[in-house]
Amino acid sequence: MVCYCSEKKIIYIHIPKCAGLTIEKILVSMYGFKYFTFPKDSSVEELVRYPFLNDPRAKMGLFRYILKYSNESKIYDLNSFFKFTFVRNPFDRAISSVKYLSDRMECSEIRKLEPERYIKNFYISCLSSTYLYFHFILSQEDCIKDLDGNIKMDFIGRFENLIPDLKFLLFDKLGFEVKDINNIHENKSDDNSTFFCKEDVDKIILDINRSDFYTFHYI
């Protein structure tokens, strides 16, 4: 969920449910970005690209985890790289996360619950699973903070303005070759949300991720 270009010294930090798979596909397949790598740890179940999603240490935040544990952090001064990310309205991001995560095995049983009980049990499941925590509870702020707890992104785009922001960043600001990126979309969410109450999700997000609204100007 984080890729980089060593030649141009650029890092993309993929905040979950902010069009990250689409952005990764563009960066990796069109512009030669590479995924960060990590020392093999037998105590952590390996995922193909994202081993940290099953590593409880990742709850500290994505960029902090990269700075502390990636192989590349021992080779490059990652703090000196141009760093960018994309953010999303916290309410919309949370709804997208619930839909996405509810299709996973960890949530299959609680999905059978009536809508009034669903989100409470879903939230409890997220507290105990690193993967679920990473996608629903971890704030967008915490995803991009450095080891000193600061946010020092060089560019923060918006999901709501994805393609124009990405074109400006890649072509105008970073000087990459202009290519057609208009029709690349990796993941589209199911619009069916009848199995949970949206108002319950909004209440939780206001409680646990309130600062995201202010930091990224969604108020």
In tens, the pLDDT along 74-125 reads 999 999 999 999 999 999 999 999 988 887 655 556 666 666 678 888 898 8
What is the total residue count of the chain?
219
pLDDT of residue 189: 56
Question: Got the DSSP string for 19-60?
Answer: SHHHHHHHHHHHH--EE------TTS---SS-GGGG-GGGGG
Contact between 47 and 53 under an 8 Å Cβ cutoff? The reply is: yes
Contact between 87 and 180 under an 8 Å Cβ cutoff? The reply is: no
Mean pLDDT of all residues in 148-159: 98
pLDDT in tens, 42-68: 454 444 457 778 888 989 999 999 999
Percentage of the chain exceeding pLDDT 90: 65
198-208 vs 115-128: helix axis angle to the nearest 10? 40
pLDDT of residue 194: 62
d(CA 37, CA 40): 9
pLDDT of residue 42: 44
pLDDT in tens, 167-200: 999 999 999 999 999 987 766 655 556 678 899 9
pLDDT in tens, 116-149: 678 888 898 889 889 889 999 999 999 999 999 9
Can you read off the two tokens belonging to residue 157? 């785009």
Q: Is the pLDDT confidence value at 25 over 60?
A: yes
